Amino acid sequence: MSASAEHGSQTVESARRTLAARLKAAGSEAAELDARLLVGAVLGLDLTGMVTGARRTLTKDEADRVEALARRRLAGEPVARILGIKEFWGLSLQLSAATLVPRPDTETVLERALELLRTDGAAERALRIADLGTGSGAILLALLSELPHAHGFATDISAEALETASRNAAALGLSERATWIECDYGSGLTGAFDLIVSNPPYIPSADIAGLDIEVRAHDPRAALDGGADGLDAYRALISHCAGLLTPGGFLVVEIGQGQSGDVEALMTASGLSPTGPPKADLGGVPRAVSGRRLPR
């Protein structure tokens, strides 16, 4: 049997199904979706193309490439890392080794920030927004996409992350409203900002080894590790914020499980007033804590 006849038995549909079954057997939670994305990536097909092209057969090279990606996924690499792309707030974002894979949980930070600005009537103004530790730029770029008059200032200690974020801004047509600053949290910024957001590293160092392999082996440690109690980044960044916020300005941060009381206390100690209870993510976990510098 020739190589092409051997692979003639594998259609787009059967490749997708076989891979989904293997991923499912390995305990993958999103096996169907992952299989569709991986086979689609090799063949250059979106969802519609996968359906209309379901019966086309794979060449040997395509089958080999599907197998290579299947092995990476089976070894615990997230699909977003394999593809180098993740959807966040409806925006397609490129990733790099220096950036977290943006999580749906982080959309809670966006929701809280937009609620606060809209209640305040601020959303129509030419806001100045800062995102401390921007990574892929996910939070800042989503905010800029919602607030057409706003200008964003994003910091990161990693030059590679800032390059990734600025490429994302360019791809989304947002470059003119974004400024990139290489520094630790807010240390390289001068105020005043109407809104500061951050999803800093917040996992206690000792907990990292117990995280899922997708996270512990593939997200950058610097974006996860919050020190002994997980709160190091909040201590550093919240103390910068009171001086960077305009009177009436808001700070919204993502938090890890059980951190809301401590983070609210740090905000209060820096002169910020909590703006209500933390906002929960889709899993019901308090995920976004917000505070406000009192208006003069």
Q: How far is the CB of 261 from ligand GLN (least distance, A)?
A: 18
Are residues 113 and 142 in contact, defined by beta-carbon separation less than 8 angstroms? Answer: no
Candidate residues 16, 73, 103, 218; the one interacting with ligand GLN per rule CB under 6 A: 103
Q: How far is the CB of 138 from ligand GLN (least distance, A)?
A: 11
From residue 149, alpha-carbon distances to 48, 132, 190 in Å are: 36, 20, 20
Report the alpha-carbon distance of residue 108 to residue 181 in Å, rounded. Answer: 25
What is the size of the binding site for ligand GLN (CB under 6 A)?
12
- Our CB check for ligand GLN shows the closer of 28 and 99 to be 99
Q: How far is the CB of 150 from ligand GLN (least distance, A)?
A: 23
Residue 236's H or E segment, with its range, is helix 232-244
Residue 133, C-beta contacts closer than 8 angstroms, at least 6 positions apart: 155, 156, 157, 185, 198, 199, 200, 201, 223, 233, 237
224 lies in the binding site for ligand GLN (CB under 6 A): yes
Contacts 24+ apart (CB under 8 A), 22-28: 22/70, 22/74, 23/70, 23/73, 23/74, 26/74, 28/73
Q: How far is the CB of 61 from ligand GLN (least distance, A)?
A: 36
- Our CB check for ligand GLN shows the closer of 256 and 291 to be 256
- Our CB check for ligand GLN shows the closer of 35 and 110 to be 110
- Our CB check for ligand GLN shows the closer of 98 and 224 to be 224
The amino acid that residue 279 corresponds to is K
Scanning residues 32 to 71, which ones bind ligand GLN (CB under 6 A)?
A: none
Between strands 128-132 and 193-198, the pairing is parallel
Q: How far is the CB of 187 from ligand GLN (least distance, A)?
A: 19
Scanning residues 199 to 218, which ones bind ligand GLN (CB under 6 A)?
A: 199-203, 211, 215
89 lies in the binding site for ligand GLN (CB under 6 A): no
108 lies in the binding site for ligand GLN (CB under 6 A): no
Show the binding pattern over residues 181-200: x = contacts ligand GLN (CB under 6 A), - = does not. ------------------xx
Phi, psi dihedral angles at 88 (to 5 degrees): -145, 125
List residues binding ligand GLN (CB under 6 A).
100, 103, 105, 199-203, 211, 215, 224, 254
